[in-house]
Structure 1
Amino acid sequence: MATCDECGKQENMPYECRRCGGSFCAEHRLPENHDCPGLEWDDPVGVFDQAEERDAGRSGGSRAGLRRRARSLWRSYVQNNATFVFLLLMWVAWVIQLALRVFAPTLEPTLFWLQSEHPEYVWTWVTSVFAHGGIVHIAANSIGIFFFGQVVERRIGTKRFVGLFLVSGAVAGLAQIGASIALSPGIPTSVVGASGALLAIMGVLTILNPGLTVYLWFFLPVPIWALTIGFAALSLLQGFGQIAGGAGIAHWAHLAGLAIGLAYGLYVQDQVEPPRQLQFGGGRGPGGPGRGGGRF
């Protein structure tokens, strides 16, 4: 059995594309039906682009050529690989954070922390998603995104996955800041981390296949619905201070991310085929693959 790289359908005898090497079902076997990057590779020196530029005019043709090259880069390196792109960006941001702590410590909060004192720093709505508070923090989020992100990306498509990741991560951070201002007014708060996006991914999977088996701590099999409900209950109780533990963790960000994922899962559940099991591996293409603050 193999999985179609385009729609995730299980195939006993899949078709292999001679251009990009991917495996596809009968519906998506033709290059034009799976946006095959190999269609672009047939013109490596841009001969057709140059001809079209001459025919269409220098200005308009140049813009068309740039658009084609951008689409080629997307299909070759990002499409079906956004999970790995996000993981790479997280670790690049972490290295930059470490460098700033040594050479320019005052810059890290300005560039990477989403702060209750400066919510107008709109770039931190995004950069805070990729920044992390420590090695354990980024490692835990990386593991979760690696295992679950690929599955969701293959089901909903790369463009929608990118939107889900960025929007849920940013909204989760803003939700944590808002909750902190409401529950602890006057106390400065800052947030970093990708857990809001990770919980959104888990929320989508919970809706698409509630009985999907995941391995807690890599050895304890549990259905994903139980893991999701348990995590939400823990975050809710610790967020309101009803049980001890969880200090320094952005519980409201977790809950906001999960809510977005559940809602989006309901939106797309009739449009995609639910995953039957967790399957890993990159997409196709030549590139492969604080102060009163909170970590999420």
Structure 2
Amino acid sequence: MAKCSECGEYENLPYQCRRCGQSFCSEHRLPENHECAGLNEWNDPGGVFDSGFDDSVESGNSGGVGARVRSRIERETGTGGIMGAFRGNMTYVFLGLMWITFAAEFVVLFTAGGAAFSNIFVLSTGALQQGYVWTIVTSIFSHSPGSFFHIAGNSIALYFFGPLVERYLGSKRFTAMFIITGAVAGLGQIGVGALLGDPVTGVLGASGAIMAIMGFLSIVNPNLRVMLLIPPIPLSIRTITILYAGLSLFGVVSAGSVIPGAGGIAHAAHLSGLLLGVLYANVADGRRNVPNQIGSGGGGLGGPGRGRF
């Protein structure tokens, strides 16, 4: 007897997929029924397996265009289509967006000035009051141009921890989690700043979403072992998350440093993201297990293309 990796039901005679190696019940044994990661290996961008039959032959003009549009969407979002390339790879998409945005920040600074930079990349009360609502999202992928460590630190954390959560949730839910927690963390930062007497607080960076990922992992697999770089000692993800949460909490309430963004660190955003990640982990159901330790290659998942959408 084995547990189906897709629906969680126990099966007396399980089927093992030859492409992903997982066990499934009879209902989910076919690769397309469990959205097998191995489907990416088929590499059918041109729709080779599509018969090309046009439903409009029998249905006349009614629905002919609609049928062709639906067929095109299915091909592009299916196994070998353009959107299929993002299945299991959203962590790396977000990494790419962060560095592309980082480069764009310098272009805007040198060509349009600091005001344009703030209006495009920085989430603040003033930006929202002026209608620059896009900063709720753009600020997630923006990082301080004066601190290479800011984007480097977030990139390292996302590279190692992101694939674990994406593998657990699937790419669609991971994408929603990253964007929503990043946005709410930023809004939490400027909200707490206003409450503590700093109504012009601005925030940018993916740290809130990163903390949500760490908070999520500390619940679904608190004993996940992580080797710190400085000092080089192994710690559990829960211990690291608690230490970082304590540091952020101290940054918010420490004497003489009441403003949550003191020192250039968005402590309130970190705490907001962490809380959201912990809350979501308590209600989310996982489709894949989180490993007990992190290896090289994006969390030991074998690199891009190993998750599920």
**TM-score greater than 0.5 by the shorter chain:** yes
The question of whether the paired residues in 2 share the 8 Å contact of 1:208 and 1:275 is answered with no
Query: Match of 1:118, SS?
Result: helix
For residues 85 and 94 of structure 1, what CA distance do their matches in structure 2 show?
14
1:111 pairs with 2:123: no
Distance 1:100 1:241, change over 3 A: same
1:265 to 275, 281, 294: 281
For residues 86 and 286 of structure 2, what CA distance do their matches in structure 1 show?
25
Distance 1:46 1:52, change over 3 A: farther
**Corresponding letter in the other structure for 2:148:** I
The two structures have a TM-score, normalised by structure 2, of 0.78
The answer for the alignment partner of 1:97 in structure 2 is 105
1:124 pairs with 2:172: no
1:277 pairs with 2:293: yes
Distance 1:148 1:32, change over 3 A: same
The answer for the alignment partner of 1:288 in structure 2 is none
The answer for the alignment partner of 1:11 in structure 2 is none
Which shifted more, 73-82 or 158-167? Answer: 73-82
Deviations for 1:203-233, whole angstroms, at most 9, x for unmatched residues?
Answer: 1100011111112226221111111111111
The answer for the alignment partner of 1:153 in structure 2 is 166
Query: Match of 1:225, SS?
Result: helix
1:62 pairs with 2:59: no
For residues 217 and 244 of structure 2, what CA distance do their matches in structure 1 show?
14
For residues 229 and 53 of structure 1, what CA distance do their matches in structure 2 show?
60
**Corresponding letter in the other structure for 1:86:** F
Which shifted more, 108-117 or 264-273? Answer: 264-273
**Corresponding letter in the other structure for 1:207:** I
For the aligned residue pairs, the C-alpha RMSD in angstroms reads 2.9
**Structure 1 unaligned blocks of 5 or more:** 8-13, 18-22, 286-296
For residues 286 and 70 of structure 2, what CA distance do their matches in structure 1 show?
36
Aligned residues: 270
Which shifted more, 93-102 or 273-282? Answer: 273-282
Deviations for 1:160-187, whole angstroms, at most 9, x for unmatched residues?
Answer: 100110000000000000011110244x
For residues 43 and 89 of structure 1, what CA distance do their matches in structure 2 show?
27
Greater Rg, structure 1 or structure 2?
2
The answer for the alignment partner of 1:200 in structure 2 is 212
The answer for the alignment partner of 1:140 in structure 2 is 153
Which shifted more, 96-105 or 237-246? Answer: 237-246
The question of whether the paired residues in 2 share the 8 Å contact of 1:209 and 1:276 is answered with yes
Following TM superposition, by how much is the alpha carbon of 1:44 offset from its aligned partner in structure 2, in angstroms? 3.0
Which shifted more, 210-219 or 248-257? Answer: 210-219
For residues 270 and 284 of structure 1, what CA distance do their matches in structure 2 show?
18
**Corresponding letter in the other structure for 1:129:** I
Following TM superposition, by how much is the alpha carbon of 1:118 offset from its aligned partner in structure 2, in angstroms? 2.0
1:190 pairs with 2:196: no
The answer for the alignment partner of 2:186 in structure 1 is 173
**Structure 2 unaligned blocks of 5 or more:** 8-15
Following TM superposition, by how much is the alpha carbon of 1:75 offset from its aligned partner in structure 2, in angstroms? 5.5
The two structures have a TM-score, normalised by structure 1, of 0.81
Which shifted more, 89-98 or 26-35? Answer: 26-35
The answer for the alignment partner of 1:77 in structure 2 is 85
Query: Match of 2:247, SS?
Result: helix
**Corresponding letter in the other structure for 2:123:** L
Structure having greater relative contact order (Cα 8 Å, sep ≥ 6) = 1
